[in-house]
Amino acid sequence: MAYELPALPYEYAALEPYIDEATMKLHHDKHHQTYVTNLNGAIEKHPELGSKTPEDLVKGLDSIPEDIRAIVRNSGGGHVNHTMFWQIMKPNGGGEPTGNIADQIKTDFGSFEDFKKLFNETTAKQFGSGWGWLVFDGGKLKVVTTPNQDNPLSQGHYPILGNDVWEHAYYLKYQNKRPDYLAAWWNTVNWDEVNKRFETAQK
DSSP string computed for 153-185: GGGT--EEEEEE-SGGGTHHHHTT-HHHHHHHH
Which of 34, 67, 87 lies at the terminal end of a domain, its last residue? Answer: 87
Low-confidence ranges of the chain (pLDDT < 70): 1
My answer on whether 35 and 74 are in the same domain is yes
Question: Cβ distance 81 to 164 under 8 Å?
Answer: yes
| Any domain includes 172 | yes
pLDDT score recorded for residue 82:
98
Q: How many distinct structural domains can be found in the chain? A: 2
My answer on whether 142 and 49 are in the same domain is no
pLDDT score recorded for residue 193:
98
**How far apart, in whole angstroms, are the C-alpha atoms of residue 203 and residue 195?**
13
My answer on whether 115 and 47 are in the same domain is no
| Any domain includes 27 | yes
pTM for the whole thing?
0.96
pLDDT score recorded for residue 21:
98
CATH number at residue 64: 1.10.287.990
Sheet holding 130-137, edge to edge: 140-147, 130-137, 159-164
My answer on whether 117 and 45 are in the same domain is no
| Residue 80 burial class via C-beta count within 10 angstroms: exposed 0-12, middle 13-18, buried 19 and up | buried
Question: Cβ distance 166 to 145 under 8 Å?
Answer: no
The residue type at 185: W
| Residue 136 burial class via C-beta count within 10 angstroms: exposed 0-12, middle 13-18, buried 19 and up | buried
φ/ψ of residue 131, rounded to 5: -140, 150
pLDDT score recorded for residue 140:
96
pLDDT score recorded for residue 1:
59
Which of 61, 87, 113 lies at the terminal end of a domain, its last residue? Answer: 87
The residue type at 170: Y
Residue range(s) defining the domain that contains residue 54: 21-87
My answer on whether 81 and 111 are in the same domain is no
My answer on whether 69 and 119 are in the same domain is no
